[in-house]
Copies of this chain bind each other. A is one copy, B any other.
Amino acid sequence: MPGFDEATSLRARPDGAGFDAQVDPDWTVAGRPNGGYLAAILALAATRAARAGGRDHPHPMSMSATYLRPPATGPGLVRTEVLRLGRTASQVRAAFEQDGQVCVDAVLVLVRLSEGSERRVPGPPAPTMPPEETCRPLAPAVPHLLRMATMAQLDLRLDPATAGFLDGQPGGEPELRAWLRWMDGREPDPVSLLFALDALPPATFEIGSTGWVPTLQLTSYVRALPAPGPLLVRQRAQLVLGGFVDELCHVWDASGRLVAQATQLAGVRFPGEADG
């Protein structure tokens, strides 16, 4: 089983209390599990809960997660609560717990996405990107910033125009654009898109922010089945104010179609500022 799928695998507890999960150190940033990685775990648990309720709704059309405290690596428990089983959509709450404390609380809207409906409005067009081979790979260690273990699992290549922070020379625009593939060769699917929507470093690195900052809230919409091939991911900060930033993320598949998007609220830190 390839890396991402193994790292997100679940085992149902015999007593029905939920699912056992393992937070894998390969999917951490600064030692804390990546938020999109935890989102994928919660989504997989939610779809299993819907299936147990008789609904074939395997795709998270929306996932809204609130991050209370970062879990440690190692075992955790995912509890699910089916809120509603519908004909075309089901709603499931899923919470990630460690030591009896909720670390992440999420509610998902699950559906079965279908191929090829008409796009009445296509959404924002994919940005023009240099080909993958001329983009800059992002290594796990960005010494002056932070250690992103996830980058050893990904073939993530930044548009050089948004990669100034790698050389300590932020470009000044709070936006990152990148090609994204999984190192294990897995192709994107709706659950792994939840990871892709939180895979990039903070877009504020390009305006000089530093270090790890916690995601407080992440809402992701997965709207279409992605084509095989690299994803194009754009993360852009909107308002940066009072130690917090909100970022919009868009993901296009290899055919250039918008397939997923997210908004997130996170802490942010700049040199010389006290911790928020």
Residues of A participating in the B interface, judged by any CB pair closer than 8 Å:
61-62, 64, 66, 68-69, 83-84, 88-89, 91, 93, 102, 105, 107, 109, 113-114, 117-124, 174, 204, 207, 216-217, 219, 221, 223-224, 237-246, 248, 258, 261, 263, 265, 270, 276
A61 to B91, CA, bound (A): 24
**Are A219 and B219 also in contact (CB < 8 A) when A91-B68, A265-B62 are?**
yes
The residue that A223 contacts in the complex, of B83, B84, B239, with Cβ under 8 A, is: B239
With A93-B105, A114-B242 as given contacts, are A263 and B263 in contact (CB-CB < 8 Å)? Answer: yes
CB pair A270 B238 closer than 8 Å: no
Interface centre among A64, A107, A240 (most CB of B within 10 A): A64
Contact flag A69-B84 (CB < 8 Å), given A217-B109, A238-B261, A241-B223: yes
Residues in B with CB closer than 8 Å to A261 are 238-239, 246, 263
Residue of B whose beta carbon sits closest to that of A237: B121
* Given contact pairs A61-B244, A91-B68, A261-B246, A270 touches B221 in the complex (Cβ within 8 A): no
